[in-house]
Amino acid sequence: MAADIINALARIGPVIIGVVAFLFMFISSIINNKRRKKHLMEFCLRIGFQFDQNPVLSLPKTNLRSLNLDKFAKILNLIRGKRGGYHWNIFDYRLTSRRGGNRHTTVLTMFMVKLQNTSLPSFSLKTKTFFDKLDTSSEKWISFDNHPNFSKQYILKGDDKERIKEVFNSPILNFFESRKLLMTIEADNDYMLFYIGNKRTPLKDILPFIDKATAVVKLFDKETDL
């Protein structure tokens, strides 16, 4: 009898541990989200931004790639405000993916801005990592023969390669070559999107990040015939 009990516990033990771990992560997530919301509301009051209670209804509809990858993605904690001459929508974006039969949830902070003077072709730009060098799809990346350092530092993708190359003129390429911006940038028509990796941006880094992104926006947002 004792042996049977021990064997039964051995079989269900991992299940119990898994359930407890799931409940712990679920409860921790709820607590962290409530804390994040409270701190963001206080942050908005300090800097004159607006905390939006209905982010799904308020966020403009766009064809930005990262906002259309997961139909089950959820927008959280949308704050809105003007800085650097532009109106920003900043929000936490929760994505769910499956890896080996397991569900994995990622929450990252995105910064979306509407351009004022131009419309851009759809593209994405990110800092190149070691693992990107192993990517077999690298032939699809857009490169510039007269700016080899740009292609060493960044990955630029997009369907309309000719138009993207026209947009990425020498001043823009020189800007990116002269600094290593640890952010991902996406564009589509009159919207641009910025984010860092797969993480939430701490409150103390939100305004500095907007300022860095604004410098990039002003490079592209010029009256053009493109």
Mean pLDDT by 10 residues, the chain (226 residues): 59 58 52 84 94 75 80 86 95 79 81 94 89 65 91 92 94 92 92 90 95 96 62
Q: Write down the pLDDT at residue 26.
A: 46
| CA dist., res. 182 & res. 143, Å (int) | 19
Q: Write down the pLDDT at residue 8.
A: 57
Q: Write down the pLDDT at residue 57.
A: 60
| CA dist., res. 162 & res. 159, Å (int) | 9
Q: Please state whether the predicted TM-score (pTM) of the whole model is above 0.75.
A: yes
Q: Write down the pLDDT at residue 21.
A: 45
pLDDT tens, residue by residue, 192-214: 999 998 889 999 999 999 999 99
Q: Write down the pLDDT at residue 172.
A: 95
Q: Write down the pLDDT at residue 19.
A: 52
* 178, 53 Cβ separation under 8 angstroms: no
Q: Write down the pLDDT at residue 66.
A: 85
